Each structure stands twice: as structure tokens, then as C-alpha cells.
Amino acid sequence: MKLVIVESPTKAKTISKFLGKDYAVESSYGHIRDLPKSKLGVDVEHNFEPHYVIPVKAKPVVKDLQAKAKKADLVILATDEDREGEAIAWHLTHALGLLPDAKQRKNANAAKNDSRHSNEFVVSNRVQRIAFHEITKSAIEEALKTPREIDINLVDAQQARRMLDRLVGYGLSPFIWRKVRYGLSAGRVQSVALRLIVEREREIEKFRKEEYWTIEADFAKQATRDKKQETKTFRAKLQSLDGKSLGKMDVSNEATAKKLAAEAKNKKYQVSSVSRKNINRTPAPPFTTSTMQQEAARKLGFSAKQTMVVAQQLYENGFITYMRTDSTNLAASALAQAKEVVSSYFGAKYALAEPRRYATKSKGAQEAHEAIRPTDLAKKSGEEAGLKDRGQRRLYDLIWKRTIASQMQAAELEQTSADIGSDDERFSFRASGQVVKFDGFIRVYTEGSDEPEEREGILPPLEEGEKLALKAIEPLQHFTEPPPRYTDATLIKTLEADGIGRPSTYAPTLSTIQYRGYVTKTEKKYYPTDIGIVVNDLLVEHFPEVIDIKFTSHIEEEFDLIAEGKIKWTEVLREFYTPFKKHLDAKEEEVKKHIEISDTPCPHCGKMMIVKFGRMGKFLACPDPETKITLPMPEEAAKIKALAEKTKDERCPICGKPMEVKRSRFGYFLGCVDYPKCKGIAKILTRTGFKCPKCLASPERKDSPGDVVEKKSRGRGKVFYACSRYPDCDFAMNKKPESEADLVEAMKNQAAKNKKTKKQKSAIAT
């Protein structure tokens, strides 16, 4: 019997479908050895020797695998092909007793003297390491034909990252506990991500908006004898005045804008010049981990963590290739199939004569890997692939479109720009437009953008000297915008551009800074919290060299050099740790505990209360350490008072007693005044004053109808209005109701929509 070990039970289930009865496929459920949680686990005095332990939750798995490995004729380690997967395979050899005997070690040492094999970790004769980029029958069979040894350089790169992050975390986190509050943490990558968010917030706070105006006009071709009807209007913007180009801020007030618009209204206009040029737009490359996370955030509203969870499911079930990669390469077989699919679905004119290849821009990209793509491009949608989960279908569709588009012809566009001058040559407007001459790849997919795009319209055929009719002119007010807050897409894009972290680190990094309470995410945008700002400022002031963007990028490059076998991992750790420890010890003595004095006197001792940080943010505490008197912050106290007034008539759903406003880490809610005897709770609802029309029309609910209340969608935070008795009642509407008629109309529209959806589902099923 041959034992195949992978890291995921889903992956094990998929692989077992492709192997015969001679194989047993088992899962390690991820890492089976790690550094201990209770202590540093790195012997800094003895060449950074790690002390690995088997976590409690992994012990039953290890015991089971040990028993099966002893009985197996051959143990095949089939973990992922990246550094993390290589390290898991290496840990399995130690935990399962798969190391070579004395004779094999002698042969291994001889092999290591040969530079061609210096990066290989030789294991027992009854152990093999295989790697593959996709979980398909052909890929598994090919991997079994070409086993290899464990690449110790990749293992060392993973160990170096793990230990350096442990040295930083276990060094800085206790420092922050003592100087700010217990339970906080710092990390090499997470602290840089927090720094970016805090610095962006301060840029926004410093920003002062400025007013500016534009003058825009609608023109049309004049009617002729042959063509009595004027053509559809097109818009142009005032570009220059008296021959001088207008800058963005040149028209800065309403009076000037209205004066110019009134003067321009009385002029006659003609086309001064027309320029046309053909441009080709090429498609974006296939997905890397980073670009997939960015695009899923833009187009699907997925968080980075959600994207990686769904992608992992697709990979382990054999639908896409490995989802942790920074390469834009596609396998020759995929390129050939892409050409066939494009020709079949869209026609030969959309297919490329030769495959399009992309240069990878990511620092340290592993070119041997593939980009993320469907394993079978013939399945053009998640439904065709047989995916039942909606999230999996949507992400699969996005990956398929991106892959296919990358191997389609460029789009051909004609851009037209026309200058329109007044008869006295004082005013000159400019109109721009474009015509799609050949849609090419945009028939399937266009890349999303983080910035709002100004879409160019389609201009009618214009000729130089042609008279135009001015149909309307208006001055428009604008204000300069501050830099936008980071979203998942823009933050990942920035981290990648600066070489901070690697594909596998982005999702856990963003999750960590939210879990620690350093940032909050509202309507997909990141906001730093008070505690996040305090921690960031402390680290920036006293450890700038650790959370410096260039330093973090430099460390990532050194990890890459370790993976290539060019430097030793111990050298990297020593170079970092020696000055870091010396600096940390100095700051321990130098930096005093962060204390902020408020303007609120303590009701107990009369002294000014101090500001402390708790799990739910700031609060006031008595400066006397012997007392435990606390108060909410003034602004929070005012909010609680307002909410208490708003909800004064609410009653406990369990015992009927009054409710009081309370706060958890998820926000404000109502709790029974008789807590802990009664544990009744309720949400604080923003009522519209209307009863739910669907409840009133229902015989079961008309005696106790729900209220129409304001809600926010879980994904994008969009406001809508729905019945408070959900899920018993599913009434919902987008617009705030102003009258009973609005509610009745919304109920009719919802019923019609539900009927249409039901009909479509029935047709698909048929």
C-alpha cells in the first residue's frame, strides 16, 4: 500500500478519485509542527535553533499518520508546491519518523557535495516528494512519474520567515502590552499595513477641499436641407479662453463661472479642428494571487480572506490551478486549449495566431509556477463546471473570463477629439469620444479600476469648419477630493508594489489588523481606530527601522535569496536580531507607559480621570489604581443618552421589563435591565414609522405586524428598508417610504420580481 499525504481533507478526497486501490490518501490538516505558543521557541544563543512542538490539536492526526506510515510500502508527500507546502512535507518527515538511516545519510552527504543537489533534503528510501500545480488526473499521474527530494532551501526560507516574525512579534508585543494595554500585538507586515492606513487617514484629515468650476456645453450638428432633423447632442468642456488653456483651478467661484457661461451662450460655434487616431487595447494578464484578490474585491465585493477561502475550495476540488502564485505564465496545454475555446465560442477572428505571454512585474515572482486559471477552460461558467455554491461560481467565472481574455485579440478603438471655437475665437471647447471598431477581448472581460472613470461618449462625424448649434450651456461646481481610504484592493496593490509580504500573507495580514481592533472596515474602506493610531505612533517613533516599508521589502528579498540557496537563513536572522534586541532593551528603559489625561473629574476622588483602552475602545478610569470606577467617553455617553431616549419605550422580548442601551465589540444593542437574571437582548432599530404591508396582508402576522426599519446590506453596507420580523417576513425596498402608497407599490414590485426569478429558475432546471 502506498500512502499519499496532503494538507487538506478536501484535497485528499479529490486526489483519491484519480488513484487506484493501491493508494491511500490522508490529510495532515495543515501544519503538524510549529513553534510553541507559550514561549519564543527560538534559541537565539545557539545559532537560532528552532524548538518545534506538535500542537495539541495535531497530536491525534500525527498518531494516526505514524501508524499508517509504518504499514505503508511507500509514503508520498504531496503537499502544495510553495514554501509553506515544502515546509509541511519537511515537518512530516520528522514527526512521522521518515528520516534516512545511517547509510542513506552517508549517501545524502555525498550528494550534497555535488552543487547540483545541494538544495535537496534526502529522506528515507520509502519516502517520495511530489508536486503539482493543479489537481487533475493527468497532473497527478505526471507528478507520480517524476518524484523529487524535499527542497531544503524552500524549507529554510519558510523557517526564516516564521522565526523572524516570531522574533519581531514576541519582542514588540510585550513591549506594547507594558506601554499601552495588554493583549495587543505587533508584526513585521501587519504593522506596516497599519502604518499605511494611519498615514492615509492623516492625509485625509489635513486635506482642505477647494472649490472649482467647469463650463460644459451641449452641441449638435446643424440641420441641412437634406437632413431637417438635428443630430443627437454631444457634450464638450471649455478648454481655453482667449487662446490660453484653462487650468483645473482657474475658474474658482460661481460668479466667474456664470459670467463666462452667459457670455459664451451668445456666440456662434464651429469645429476648429478634428483629430482621430486608432489605438489598440491589450488585455490584462491572467490572475496572480494579488490581482485575483484585488479584482474579486472590486467586482464581487469579496474581502481578501473570503477570496482565498473560496479559491482554496476551487483548487482542492480540482476546478482551478494553485491559487498562491505571483507568476503570469500559462502552461503550453492551457494556451492551446484557450485558442480552441476562443475560436469555438467567439470565432476565429478573436483568437491569436501565437499565444500572448506576459512579463511578471512582481518582485521575487516564481516563474516556474503558473498563473491562476481553470483546469478545464472548456467549462466556461461555474454552472457548467457543476458548482453549487454561489461564491464559488462567481469567482470561477471571474477567473475563466480573465484567463480567456488574456488570449484574445486586442480591442481596436478609434479616438476622436474635436476643438469647437466661438466666432470671435474667445472660447474654445473640447469634445472627446471613441468608437469600438473591433471589440476583441472586451467582449469577454475588462479589468476593474480603483478610480472613478470618465466614460467618453460617441461623437457624430465632424469636419473642420463645420457649423454647430449650441443647445445648452451650464457652469458646474466641483470640489477637490482627498486621497481615498484604502480598500482591500488598493491596500493589497500598495503592499505588492512596495514588495511587502507575499501572495499568501495579504489575506491573513488584513484579517489580523481587524481582529486586533486596529482598524475597522466600513463600506469596504479601512479606518484606523484610536488604539490602532496609538500603537502605530508608538512603533513609528521608537522602532521606525522595523516597520519601515523599505526594510520590510528588503527582508522579503532576502527570503527569496534563501529560497534560491544564495544566502543562509541564520545569517539573515543574525543580521536583524542583534541590533533589534539591543534597541528593544534600550527602549524598554527609555519609554514610559502611555497615559492620556482627560478633562473629566472623577466622581470618586475629584482628580482628572485618565483615558484607557479596552476591548471596545477608549473609556475613562479613576487615576487611583485601588478603585475600579469607570465612565464612558463624553462623546460615547452622549450617544448612549440619545439612543436611550430613542428606545425608551422598548420592552424585553422575554420578560417584558424595560431595556437599556449596552455596548459590545459589535456595536450598541439593548439588554434587559434585569440582567443577569434575564438575558433578553434586541437590536436598536431605526424605524420609519410604517408597519410592514406584507405582514398586514398575511392572516398569520396581521395582528402583530413588523415595522419597516432601516438596514444595511452585509456586503457593501448599502442602506435599504425591510420588515423587522425578518426572516419570518422578507419584505424589503430600496427607497425610504414616504407614504402607504410607496409601501404597496414596493410590495407589488417585489412580488413581480420574485415571480420572474422563480420562472427563470424553473426554465433553467427544465
pLDDT tens digits, one per residue of 365-401? 444 578 999 999 999 999 998 999 999 999 999 999 9
**CA–CA dist 145, 148 (Å, integer):** 10
**CA–CA dist 527, 524 (Å, integer):** 10
450 within some domain: yes
Nearest to 431 by CA among 153, 178, 237: 237
Final residue in a domain of this structure, among 561, 590, 619: 590
- pLDDT at residue 114 above 70? no
Pick from 112-116, 353-357, 405-409, 752-756: least confident:
112-116
Q: Indicate which CATH number applies to the domain containing 426.
A: 2.70.20.10
Q: Which amino acid is at 762?
A: S
Q: What is the dihedral of CA 354, 355, 356, 362, to 10 degrees?
A: -150
248 within some domain: yes
Nearest to 240 by CA among 278, 210, 273: 273
Other C-beta atoms lying within 10 Å of the C-beta of residue 386: 10
Report the first-to-last Cα separation within the chain, whole angstroms. Answer: 46
677 within some domain: no
What sign has the CA pseudo-torsion 753, 754, 757, 759? negative
User: Mean pLDDT over residues 439-459, rounded?
Assistant: 79
- Residue keyed to cell 494516526: 64
User: Do 658 and 524 sit in the same domain of this protein?
Assistant: no
80 within some domain: yes
- pLDDT at residue 553 above 80? yes
Q: How far is CA 101 from CA 89, 94, 106, 568, in A?
A: 18, 13, 9, 26
User: Do 268 and 302 sit in the same domain of this protein?
Assistant: no
Q: Are 260 and 475 in contact (CB under 8 A)?
A: yes
**CA–CA dist 407, 350 (Å, integer):** 9
Q: Are 15 and 140 in contact (CB under 8 A)?
A: yes
What is the DSSP-derived secondary structure letter of residue 714?
Answer: T
Q: Confidence band (pLDDT; 50, 70, 90) for 426?
A: very high
DSSP letters, 694-738, are HHHT-TTTTTSPPEEEEEE-TTT--EEEEETTTTT---EESSPP-
User: Do 609 and 719 sit in the same domain of this protein?
Assistant: no
What is the DSSP-derived secondary structure letter of residue 355?
Answer: -
What pLDDT, on a 0 to 100 scale, did the predictor assign at position 367? 44
User: Do 371 and 464 sit in the same domain of this protein?
Assistant: no
Which pLDDT tens digit goes with each residue over 646-662? 888 888 989 989 999 98
Which pLDDT tens digit goes with each residue over 217-272? 999 987 655 555 556 789 999 999 999 999 999 999 999 999 999 999 999 999 99
**CA–CA dist 390, 496 (Å, integer):** 29
State the catalytic residues.
322
Burial of 440 (0-12, 13-18, 19+ CB in 10 A): buried
- Residue keyed to cell 512519474: 145
Q: For 497, phi and psi rounded to 5 degrees? A: -60, -35
- Residue keyed to cell 420574485: 754
User: Do 82 and 107 sit in the same domain of this protein?
Assistant: yes
**CA–CA dist 72, 128 (Å, integer):** 12
Q: How far is CA 658 from CA 672, 673, 683, in A?
A: 6, 6, 14
604 within some domain: yes
Q: Are 458 and 233 in contact (CB under 8 A)?
A: no
Burial of 426 (0-12, 13-18, 19+ CB in 10 A): middle
User: Mean pLDDT over residues 121-137, rounded?
Assistant: 85
The model's pTM: 0.81
How many structural domains does the chain have? Answer: 6
**CA–CA dist 622, 365 (Å, integer):** 54
Burial of 418 (0-12, 13-18, 19+ CB in 10 A): buried
Nearest to 661 by CA among 644, 645, 678: 644
User: Do 276 and 416 sit in the same domain of this protein?
Assistant: yes
Other C-beta atoms lying within 10 Å of the C-beta of residue 541: 10
156 within some domain: no
Segments forming the whole domain that contains residue 193: 161-207+484-590
Q: Indicate which CATH number applies to the domain containing 120.
A: 3.40.50.140
User: Do 273 and 417 sit in the same domain of this protein?
Assistant: yes
Pick from 248-257, 489-498, 714-723, 732-741: least confident:
714-723
C-alpha cell at 383: 454552472
User: Mean pLDDT over residues 74-91, rounded?
Assistant: 93
CA angle (27, 28, 34) in 5-degree steps: 165
User: Do 660 and 723 sit in the same domain of this protein?
Assistant: no
Q: 248-287: b or e for each residue (b if 16 or more CB lie within 10 Å)?
A: eeebeeeeebeebbeebeeeebebbebeeeeeeeebbbbb
Strands 519-522 and 411-422 come out as: unpaired
Final residue in a domain of this structure, among 455, 479, 503: 479
User: Do 230 and 98 sit in the same domain of this protein?
Assistant: no
**CA–CA dist 92, 6 (Å, integer):** 10
C-alpha cell at 473: 450651456
C-alpha cell at 525: 474602506
User: What is the SS3 string spanning 300-328?
Assistant: HCCCHHHHHHHHHHHHHCCCECCCCCCCC
Q: Are 576 and 164 in contact (CB under 8 A)?
A: yes
Final residue in a domain of this structure, among 460, 479, 498: 479
The backbone region for 430, taken as left when phi is positive above 0, alpha when psi lies in -120 to 50, beta otherwise, is beta
**CA–CA dist 15, 80 (Å, integer):** 13
User: Do 354 and 440 sit in the same domain of this protein?
Assistant: no
Q: Confidence band (pLDDT; 50, 70, 90) for 497?
A: confident
User: Do 17 and 111 sit in the same domain of this protein?
Assistant: yes
User: Do 199 and 219 sit in the same domain of this protein?
Assistant: no
Q: Indicate which CATH number applies to the domain containing 398.
A: 1.10.290.10
Q: Confidence band (pLDDT; 50, 70, 90) for 663?
A: confident
504 within some domain: yes
154 within some domain: no
Q: Which helix (H) or strand (E) holds 41?
A: none
